[in-house]
Amino acid sequence: MITIKNTHELELMRRACKITAAARALAGEMVRPGVSTKAIDRAVHDYIVSQGAKPSFLHYHGYPASACISVNDTVIHGIPGGYLLKEGDIVSVDVGALYQGFHGDCAATFACGAISTEARKLIDVTKQSFFEGIRFAVKGNRVQDISHAIQTYVESNGFSVVRSFVGHGVGRQLHEEPEVPNFGHPGRGPRLLSGMTIAVEPMVNAGTYEVRVLKDGWTTVTADGKLSAHYENTVLITDGEPEILTVTEGL
């Protein structure tokens, strides 16, 4: 069931999303050569807790960390550990915070030092595809109006959108209805209503859109070993323009 948030609930959502966005920004500032993904995860955890919130991902269906940190060909759900970031890596950080019963959810891909021209284009196209999509995140439109805009922009730039994982509603639950694919046909899917909160999250691959999940049951990589990027914000459908709840300066 799709949930519509009231004014009080939206205030709690805004606070959860502000914490989440700040945690993402903190993680991005830490992306540099020689830093371990575990150190970034620890900083994200400590920041979220310091704000009176809880990391949404920690122990979610058994997930062992507070952030998903996915490097290079890892699409999503990379488990932080001892890997030390290297010059030229691209690093996707996905975070969530639970504040007084409501979740925020956002992600971005960061450059570790100097990166290749292709990697920079992949990051930029992935981020811009989100903004192309939410132009259609307007009351009365359909979910797949967003999806189609994302897919069209990504594919026009020579990349592919992941099909096996999609965006989603977010609120009291980290994952709620409706699903928000990054591909589809305009005019399809649930109708967008004022008060809906959705996580729109393009996952974009340099090569094939096919992915595979590793033996740990979480880490998801591109099937062809090529790079992947991720960009996500929690978005509120209003009576007018959409409101990005997890927006921060530069992100």
Residues of the chain with pLDDT under 50: none
* Rounded-to-integer distance, Cα 24 and Cα 171, Å: 18
Average pLDDT of the chain is 98
pLDDT of 248 reads 80
pLDDT of 126 reads 98
Percent of the chain with pLDDT over 70: 100
Q: Tell me how many degrees the CA angle 171-39-64 measures, rounded to the nearest 5.
A: 50
Tokens matching residue 228: 């992947």
* Rounded-to-integer distance, Cα 207 and Cα 149, Å: 19
pLDDT of 67 reads 98
- In the block, tokens 């729109």 appear at 200
* Element at 221 (helix H, strand E): strand 220-222
Report the DSSP beta bridge partners of residue 5.
none
Instruction: For residue 178, say if its preceding peptide bond is cis, omega within 30 degrees of 0.
Output: yes
Phi-psi label, residue 7: left if phi above 0, alpha if psi -120 to 50, beta otherwise: alpha
* Rounded-to-integer distance, Cα 228 and Cα 89, Å: 11
Give domain limits for the chain. 7-244
pLDDT of 250 reads 73
- In the block, tokens 């960390």 appear at 65
152: Cβ–Cβ under 8 A, 6 or more apart, which residues? 132
Phi-psi label, residue 108: left if phi above 0, alpha if psi -120 to 50, beta otherwise: beta
* Fold of domain 7-244: Creatine Amidinohydrolase (3.90.230)
pLDDT of 18 reads 98
* Element at 152 (helix H, strand E): helix 143-156
pLDDT of 249 reads 72
pLDDT of 42 reads 98
Cα distances (angstroms) measured from residue 201 to each of 8, 101, 133, 166, 169: 25, 22, 10, 7, 11
Going by C-alpha positions, the residue among 150, 145, 149, 153 that lies closest to residue 188 is 145
How much is the pTM?
A: 0.97
pLDDT of 205 reads 98
Q: Tell me how many degrees the CA angle 131-181-236 measures, rounded to the nearest 5.
A: 50
* Rounded-to-integer distance, Cα 228 and Cα 71, Å: 8
pLDDT of 247 reads 87
Residue at 236: amino acid letter: L
